[in-house]
Amino acid sequence: MNRPLVYVFLGASGSGRHEVLADLIAGMPDSARVALSLPETACDPGEALRPVAEHVLRSDWRLVEDELEVEIPEGATHFFMLTSGDSNPVDQIEALYHWGRDNGAGIDRIVTVVNCRLVSENPGLEKWYDACIHFSDYVLLNRREGVSEGWIRGFQERYRKAFFPCIFEMVKKGRVKNPALVLDPLPRRLSHLFDEPLEADFEFDSEEESADDDDNDPAVDPYLERLPSGRRAREIPDIARFLPL
């Protein structure tokens, strides 16, 4: 049996990821499954995900000593993982990388759902979203009530000028325009961390082979790189400080 497609949803708590997931999963086969991080489960997302409750796993995933604890259920063809929205997304991405390598599971699509109102009111959070979008194939702009069109254009333009390959789309009433496009596993992320190793029927010389291996080395990714002190070389804000109590 082929391995399931694995989707990861980044974003802050309260950004509307549950509604988006419900919309995307509504038309999917019974073999699609959703795993929520333990903090997200504690927030009782039942109302938003009630229409697709049969897809939501009763067992949650969590980080234990920086290691990801989750199992893909047998028979799943599509596996959705919702990260903790009040924690550091880079720590979770790094754990996902090692989990995927240890379990032979690829990460096929990473989606960030942006709370536009939250980041527009707290400009310092742009660095937090920069980290999420660095790893993302698709970016869904949500919670736009009261946010000017000029700010939304400027938010997107900053990434376009930096040549980010990911796709940006507006969420309307918890729904996306084209679910199939959001779920298309064709990589469009800036980071190469989760890229499959290059396969070919010819041999590279040692220097070229080493360079290819480095593309998937977590120490090479600018967000995962650590200083000798153990701190991240590129730090991001603590999202929990900006979320409603």
pLDDT at 34 over 60: yes
Residue 237, domain CATH: 3.40.50.300
Predicted confidence band at 207 (pLDDT cuts at 50, 70, 90)? very low
Whole-number Å distance between alpha carbons of 241 and 100: 30
**Which tokens hold the place of 164?**
């980010």
The total number of structural domains in the chain stands at 1
pLDDT digits (tens, 9 = 90+) for 83-129: 999 999 999 999 999 999 888 888 999 999 999 999 999 999 999 99
Beta bridge partners of 232: 226
Angstrom distance (rounded) from CA 152 to CA 92: 27
* Structural domain containing residue 59: 5-242
Instruction: Give the model's pLDDT for residue 208.
Output: 45
Average pLDDT, the chain: 86
d(C-alpha 190, C-alpha 192), whole Å: 7
Separation of alpha carbons 205 and 175, rounded Å: 49
